[in-house]
Chain A
């Protein structure tokens, strides 16, 4: 399956600042990546679908101006949490669609964001 690298694995930031999380597809070109959010002891919640060269598609209830997604190349998608607040503290995970009829999506190792 695809190899996905996510960075950083954890980050602490002050309230009001912005944080950028990177998701890289290491061994193939990904036209589509997905960003999830996971609260403790809960399942993954899809935030948005990142499309290479075009705007991301956000799920209902997700603020696109707060969670900026950029998919400028076939191997890199970034999620920027802008003006972070303590309630944005969560575990953020990216996923890659292998494409070509393969639905065995691969996930990054996740980023734990703590806003203080």
Chain B
């Protein structure tokens, strides 16, 4: 049973470009969570999605950031017009249901560097 997959593992973008981060949850999981880890800090919740629905986006910056989890395919975290402050590790986690959302399984992360 494959774990949570994220790609790419490393992503370099110039200021102003777009970054697309992908997350495939564990098999049988339909709930996805995105977290951001800034250098020397812990993980901060960004958004919680179920298939085709955004449940909680209270941690998402108001501009430039969006997330989706379509019926088919991986969840996508999209950052438009990246700035240096977006450089961070972005982690995705999944759980099988909202009832078991306390137990989240994490992917290896995507390390975004904005030059």
Verify that A and B bind, or say they do not: no
